[in-house]
Amino acid sequence: MSSSNLEQVTKEVEKMEVNPAAVEKKEKAPKEKKNNPRALKTPKGTQDYNPSQMTIREQVFDTIKQVFKRHGAVTIETPVFELKDTLTGKYGEDSKLIYDLADQGGEICSLRYDLTVPFARYVAMNRVQNIKRYHIARVYRRDNPVMTKGRFREFYQCDFDIAGEYDVMVPDAECLRIICEILDQVKVGKYVIKLNHRKLLDAIFAICGVPADKFRTICSAVDKLDKSPWDEVRKEMVEVKGLDGAIADKIEEFVKLSGPPFELLEKLRTSGMCDSNKDAVDALAQLETLFGYLEALGCTERILFDLSLARGLDYYTGIIYEAVLTQQDRVGSIAAGGRYDGLVGMYGKKDVPAVGFSIGIERIFTILEEEYTKNKLKIRENQTQVYVVQMDKELLKDRLKICSELWNAGINAEFAYKVNPKVAPQLNSANESLTPLTILIGKTEIETNTLSVKNMKDSKQISIPRENFTEKIKELLNNLN
């Protein structure tokens, strides 16, 4: 094909626009058979993910893994289901959301509710004394799903945990630093990390007069303050859980307090509100240590000391925290965690202290996907770097040889699956997939032992020698980055 014809074809391709309506009409699904009245759907609370969604998800997963690895974490894998006894009694009122399975060969099992309890079982069973691990996997909850808010029955969790005997608040501070790194890098928007101490919260309940046997159930009610007003939470405490109204009013005085870490800490100390309880004094001392470490890590401006934060799960024993977006409240928390020093001991003879968190990855995906849609950003779904275009007939084997050399050199390449494809559709495929380079091969290139290489972004085209061409392709690709 002559260069003038090539230029004409190229111009035609660059003007081409895919008509979505035409494509939709052309690719319209066949009519459903009359004898199949049930519409195809995924189970409630689950969904399929298309290539664009998976591109976003994989990019975010890669970013998170890089952060975890930067902090020295290893990864493990645990079964998607556990013995029911392993999960029972670890989640407080949320235990009702566990998916139970039928008798599996004499063992009663349940789908894992989170990745923390299986991790604790793993540590105890393998007698691990210290480990810094991450785990990214699906979990299951028999919840009432709200798909638009990122609440599913099957979803991914990204967990990071540090287990072992260490000095007070040192690993806790690193966990909070890691959350900040991840949320900054995935560019999910402005956020704040609400932080409290479970020991301080229990001390507040004791100061207010809550009976010890009601600590956990009242804690579960307080945990709803991020979604419900105080009047509704108070009503649950008094009318549903039998707490004296005067005690509930005393609790309100505490849980309405929040502010910058050092500022609220000083306020609690100077007010004397917690001086009568040793556990409260100890918790405030631990928090002072933590805030000092976070200041050294450059994180205190992201932290909000909030006495209304409760975290309803039963296994928390120390600091608890929850990251929320400050410019919208549609998806709830986007990361949460805390210290759980007694969980491993439930499965073994020895307690192994632990602290960790989970990234609300599905909620982050929901936000990022909306951003792409709102800004009409095109997502590059594949990682093809070079598309090999045949310009004349009977050159399929030459294309295959070129692709083989590209693949051998570690370069991502594609070609059309036709013996004699037309030029325009090939170039259009490269355009549509946002492939950065095309290699053009025709009779002229065969005769001169060269290859024509086109930059698909600026339409600039050069000729390179056929011999050892992959080195030049790598150089061109590096210049594009």
pLDDT in tens, the chain (481 residues): 544 455 555 555 455 444 444 434 444 555 555 555 568 999 898 989 989 889 899 999 999 999 999 999 999 999 999 999 899 877 777 788 899 987 767 888 999 999 999 999 999 999 999 999 999 999 999 888 887 776 789 999 999 999 999 999 999 999 999 999 999 999 888 999 999 999 999 999 999 999 988 888 888 888 888 788 899 999 999 999 999 899 999 999 898 899 999 999 999 999 888 898 999 999 999 999 999 999 999 999 999 999 989 886 778 899 999 999 988 776 778 999 999 999 999 998 889 999 999 998 888 988 888 888 887 778 888 899 999 999 999 999 999 999 999 999 999 999 999 999 999 999 999 999 999 999 999 999 999 999 999 999 999 999 999 999 999 999 999 998 7
The reported pLDDT for the residue numbered 115 is 94
Annotated binding site: 114-116, 141, 157, 161, 311, 315-316
Give the count of alpha carbons within 13 A of 322, CB side only: 19
Residues paired with 355 in a beta bridge = 162, 339
Which among 93, 142, 135 has a CA at the least distance from the CA of 118?
135
Strand 131-140 to 74-75 pairing: parallel
- Judged on CB neighbours under 10 Å (0-12, 13-18, 19+), 226 is middle
The pair of structure tokens assigned to 473 is: 């392709």
Which among 136, 163, 134 has a CA at the least distance from the CA of 74?
134
State the sign of the Cα–Cα–Cα–Cα dihedral 82, 85, 89, 93.
positive
Which among 201, 200, 183 has a CA at the least distance from the CA of 192?
183
Amino acid at 20: P
Tell me what percent of the chain is helix, strand and coil, each rounded to the nearest 5.
45, 20, 35
Local structure of 459: helix, strand or coil = coil
The reported pLDDT for the residue numbered 13 is 47
473/215 Cα distance (integer angstroms): 66
Local structure of 423: helix, strand or coil = helix
Local structure of 71: helix, strand or coil = coil
The reported pLDDT for the residue numbered 37 is 58
The reported pLDDT for the residue numbered 2 is 47
Q: Enumerate domains of the chain plus CATH numbers.
A: 1-47+65-172+354-371 (3.30.930.10), 386-480 (3.40.50.800)
The reported pLDDT for the residue numbered 136 is 96
Residues paired with 354 in a beta bridge = 163
Annotated binding site for L-histidine: 114-116, 141, 157, 161, 311, 315-316
The reported pLDDT for the residue numbered 8 is 54
Residues paired with 305 in a beta bridge = 195, 259
